[in-house]
Amino acid sequence: MMASASIDYRNAVLLAVVVFATLCACEAKSPYAVGLSEDFYEKTCPQAAAIVDAYVTKFLRKDRTFAGAFNRLQFHDCWVGGCDGSVLLNSTGSIQAEREAHVNFGLRGVAEIDEIKAGLEYFCPGVVSCADILIMAARDATAKVGGPTWPVAMGRRDGVNSTALMADTNLPFPVLNFSGLVANFAAKGFSAKEMITLSGAHTIGQSHCNGILPHLYNFTGKDDATDTDPAMNKNFAVFLKKLCPQGNRTNTIFIDSTASTFDRAYYKNVLHGKGIFMTDSALITNPLGKKVVRSFSKPGSSFFTEFAAGMVKMGNLGVLTGTEGEIRKTCQFVN
C-alpha cells in the first residue's frame, strides 16, 4: 500500500508539471499577429509554400536582383496601411494607386507576384491571399541569395484601398536624415537599431537613378552640379555620376557592390562613404548609428538574425484576418 501510494503521488506530481508546462506554453506570447499561423494553409492549400518557392527560384534564375525587388515590395506594402497587398493594386479611373506614388518610382516584381498568384489559383482557387504571397516571396528570395531565412505565418487577407497619397505620407523618402528615419520607423513601432537593421535590405537589388540624384547633385540646394553630399566618397561619387547623369531618372544601378548576394558588404560600403542613397549615408551621422553599422559590418555579427526578426515583425503590421478584406482572384484588381 505504501509503495502504491508513493507511485500515485509521483504520478499526480508529474501530471501537474505537464499541465503547468502546457499552460505556460499556451500563454507564451506568439511572435505573430492575432489570426496568423505557420500552418494556416495546411488543410486548404498545403502546397502553397512549395509553389511560391518554385516561382521565386524561376525568377531569380532569370535575374537575381528580384530578391531586392521582393524585399522592397514587402516593405512598401506593410508600411502603408499594413501588410494587405495594397501595393499591388492598379490605379482606377478616379484613384491613383500606391504604385503611382513618387516614393514608389521604379517598383518591380508586381507582374511576378501576379504570376505566382495565377499558379496558386490553379491548384487552390480563392484560398491564398496576395498579401501572404508577398511575405513568402520576400523570405524565399532572401534565403536563395545567401541571406537568412525565417518562419512565416500566414492568414493575411487582401485590402481593397490603395492611394498614392497613403504611400507618400507613410514611406520614408530617400532624402531623410537620421532623425527623420528614426521618426518614420518609430511611427510603426520600430527602434533606431531595427531601422538600421532593415536598411540592410539595400545589400541586394538595384535602383533607378531617381532615388540617387539628390545625393549627387544640388545636395544643399545651390543648383550646382558639383554640389554633392560631402559624406560620399569622392571617387565613388564620380563613378555614380557616370551611371546617373544629372536629370536622368530612369537608368538603373546596383545598390551594393555585391548586389546579387545578401551579405554584410552594405555596411562596409556605408562606413567608407559608398552608400547609394542619402538615407544610407545618414546612418553614420549619428553615434549610435555608426556603432551599429560598424558592428554589422564585421564577420559573426548578429545582422542576419536581427534582419530575420525585423522581417517577421514587419509582417505583423496592420494585417487583415478572418472576414476582413478579401482574397483577390488577381493581385492587381479588387474582386
Q: Is 263 part of any known ligand binding site?
A: yes
For 165-218, write each residue's pLDDT tens digit: 999 999 998 889 999 999 999 999 999 999 999 999 999 988 889 888 888 988
Set 76, 102, 208, 215: catalytic member: 76
For 49-108, write each residue's pLDDT tens digit: 999 999 999 999 999 999 999 999 999 999 999 999 999 999 998 899 999 999 999 899
For the question of residue 76 being annotated catalytic, the response is: yes
Q: Is 163 part of any known ligand binding site?
A: no
CB 260 within 8 A of CB 204: yes
**In whole angstroms, what is the distance from residue 9 CA to residue 119 CA?**
58
For 218-245, write each residue's pLDDT tens digit: 888 876 778 888 889 999 999 999 999 9
Angle at 114 between CA 110 and CA 116, to 5 degrees: 115
Residues in the chain: 335
**In whole angstroms, what is the distance from residue 107 CA to residue 86 CA?**
13
For 298-328, write each residue's pLDDT tens digit: 999 999 999 999 999 999 999 999 999 999 9
- Number of helices and strands in the chain (H, E): 14, 2
Q: Would you say residue 20 has pLDDT above 70?
A: no
Please report, to the nearest 10 degrees, the dihedral formed by the alpha carbons of residues 148, 153, 157, 161 taken in order: -40
Ramachandran area for residue 106 (φ above 0: left; ψ -120 to 50: alpha; else beta): left
Q: Is 280 part of any known ligand binding site?
A: no
CB 136 within 8 A of CB 71: no
User: Model confidence at 18, in pLDDT bands (50, 70, 90)?
Assistant: very low
CB 196 within 8 A of CB 186: no
Burial class (CB in 10 A: 0-12, 13-18, 19+), 261: middle
Q: Is 18 part of any known ligand binding site?
A: no
CB 145 within 8 A of CB 61: no
Q: Is 125 part of any known ligand binding site?
A: no
Q: Is 53 part of any known ligand binding site?
A: no
Q: Which of 147, 151, 149, 142 is nearest to 67 (CA)?
A: 142
For 107-165, write each residue's pLDDT tens digit: 999 999 999 999 999 999 999 999 999 999 999 999 999 999 999 999 999 999 999 99
pLDDT of residue 17: 46
CB 262 within 8 A of CB 204: yes
Q: Which of 194, 195, 232, 234 is nearest to 212 (CA)?
A: 232
Q: Would you say residue 13 has pLDDT above 50?
A: no
Domains detected in the chain? 47-205+255-314 (1.10.520.10)
Q: Which residues contact 285 (CB under 8 A, 6 or more apart)?
A: 177, 178, 231
